[in-house]
Amino acid sequence: MPSSRYAQIWKIAPVFVLVTCVTGIGAVEHTVAPSDTLFGLSLQYDIPITWIVRANDLSDESIRVGEVLNIPTEGIRSLEVRPGDTLSALSVELDIPVKQLRAVNALDTDLLAVGQRLIIPPPIPRGTHRVLSGDSLLSIAHQYDISLEALKTINGLDSDVIYPNQLLSVLPPRPDGHEVASGESLWSIADRYGLSINDLKTWNGLQRDVIHPGEILVLYQGLEKSSIRTPSADVALASLPKRNPETAPAGPNVEIPSFGEYFYSAPTAMRQPNDEYWESPDASPLVDYHHAQKVIEAFDAEIEAEGASGSRLRGYQIILDPGHGGLDPGAIVSVEDGDGNPVVVTEDEYAYDIAMRLYRILVRNGAMVSLTILAPDHHVRDGLNARQTFVHRKNEVYNDEAHNGNAAWRPVGGIQGLDLRKEVTSNVIASTPASLRRKGTLFVSIHADNTSDFPAGTAVLFDGENDEELAASEKLADAMASRLGAGSFTHRQQLRVLRNNPADAAVLVEARNIHYHRNAWALRSAELREQDARMIAEGILAWVDAR
């Protein structure tokens, strides 16, 4: 990380000290008692923990006895953007769709600036949709997978006309149709759904009260029987793809043992218990290397099944370098959950997950993607929940069969370890047909270090042995930082893995600086790790578009 002996060159958006981070509609003051936790206060006042955190500008969920907290009991009306905030992260935090946040703030882009004030629309009940400009009844029906007729019926609408900010119920009181079972009558079906027999007969064109098993009845006026989907439970289950719970596909006609989100073996511990805990590898580096190749094949098969999302990266080769790994866990920090219990985050496990999510996005956009190190037991992991943090397993290997087959050692820090990552990169580039990398090669290292020398925003670090290498990497860093959210910045720093790197341009991304506890909390969210990967990919695409 930064050292006083290195030249410090910073390019960063200004960071403001925020005295008031949120404006509430109504608030009460609460003096913290010895038994209080934020989780308990959120239950007591029936509001999300994040509202209390933002209203009091807390960096984590630690509170002190005697401290006076503002409790926004009636919601948040507006907030100021903090370093690291993004529109999609705020959407998750506040449980408000991104589309609504854009609309009420008249935003043309998802990019935010630190200190920018955002209007927060009032919360709406579950099962309700707030009409936005451009919405139609048909688009809302498709969004919530209900029929247009059901949507109009439950909202008492006689026409298709709706207005911005109008609230619509999107939870139908009954299904679109009903398949008649043996022993049922029109009376029993009408009673079950709160309908009249006459309505059922009219909507279904029945002249008599006689119905037959297997017959489909529509339960809304104007709905056609041909549009009803009412498969029986047995039919629905039979239509699901069958997968042996002990195996997972790994390319054509190949299956590998799986245990939930893990392959070949799973961690012994359910979560990382403390900052000293680690688990040894189950096999030799060479065996783990071959296992890792099968895991990547399985992941590639999943990506191929999802289909391409674009071709803008076709002709580019991108080498992803998940930070640390193997014998080197990187940063390990402990934060408290809402009950005051320690939650331990290990950098290398989460950096690898962001790298794999980025791998998927880049491949789907046409890039040829490789990794410097590989995990033999997983690719992308969501985890059971945010409190069960990923366990530090010292089983990653370098993506080099010859190295793992000889006097092998697993990834480590220091000069040898960093140089071997560049050697792997050089070998990967040399073994790739020129046609698949005709437009250029990139090296992106993913980290989530713990450093007080940097602010909380995402950092993109660059370096170069000569002017040409430096200029190429700086351009990539600038393009990426423009897409990484409020407070993101670029910084030149002497990093061995970037200097004399065989790729055309090389950067190191500090996706989350976990010195700041809110970043350590965010890193545990699968949704926010996916967002981090998506923004890094958008930065790479911005660099491609600017060339």
Identity at 54, one-letter amino acid code: R
Output the 3-class SS for 360-389.
Answer: HHHHHCCCEEEECEECCCCCCCCCCCCCCC
Can you tell me the distance from the alpha carbon of 459 to that of 323, in angstroms, rounded to the nearest whole number? 14
In the chain, % of residues over pLDDT 70: 87
Instruction: For residues 438 and 419, give the distance between their C-alpha atoms in angstroms, rounded to a whole number.
Output: 25
Closest C-alpha to 397, from 418, 426, 373? 373
- Listed in sequence order, the residues at least 6 apart from 239 whose beta carbon sits closer than 8 Å to its beta carbon are 231
Contacts of 231 (CB under 8 A, 6+ apart): 239
Of 13-22, 353-362, 370-379, least confident by mean pLDDT is: 13-22
Question: Sorting pLDDT into bands at 50, 70 and 90, what band is 503?
Answer: very high
> Nearest to residue 149, comparing CAs of 218, 232, 226, 229?
218
Confidence band, pLDDT 50/70/90 cuts, at residue 16: very low
Q: What is the pLDDT of residue 141?
A: 82
How far apart, in Å, do the first and last CA atoms of the chain sit? 30
- Spatial separation of the C-alpha atoms in residues 87 and 93, rounded to whole Å: 10
d(CA 449, CA 366): 30
Query: Residue 370 pLDDT > 90, yes or no?
Result: yes
pLDDT of residue 243: 33
Return the SS3 of 416.
Answer: helix
pLDDT of residue 69 exceeding 70? yes
More confident residue, 127 or 268: 268
Q: Mean of the per-residue pLDDT values for the chain?
A: 83
The pLDDT confidence band at residue 92, using thresholds 50, 70 and 90, is low
- Residue 261 neighbours by CB under 8 Å, 6+ apart: 378, 380, 381, 382, 383
Residue 232: pLDDT band (50, 70, 90) is very low
What lies within 8 Å, CB to CB, of 162 at 6+ separation is 131, 135, 136, 137, 140, 168
Domain boundaries, the chain: 128-169, 177-229, 247-445+517-529
Q: Please indicate whether the domains covering 128-169 and 177-229 agree at the CATH topology level.
A: yes
Confidence category of residue 506, pLDDT binned at 50, 70, 90: very high
In the structure encoding, which two tokens stand for residue 47, read together? Answer: 């509001």
What pLDDT score was predicted for residue 238?
Answer: 29
Nearest to 503 by CA among 462, 535, 537, 539: 462
In angstroms, the CA 432 to CA 427 distance is 9
| Between residues 7 and 210, the one the model is more confident about | 210
Which stretches of 46-112 are DSSP H helices? 49-55, 87-94, 98-104
Q: Which CATH number fits domain 128-169: 3.30.1330.40, 3.10.350.10, 3.10.450.750, 3.40.50.300?
A: 3.10.350.10
Query: What pLDDT does 23 receive?
Result: 57
Architecture of domain 177-229: Roll (3.10)
Look at residue 26 in the predicted model and tell me its pLDDT: 57
Which has the minimum average pLDDT: 4-13, 95-104, 395-404, 511-520?
Answer: 4-13
Structure tokens at 499: 């200097």
pLDDT of residue 453: 85
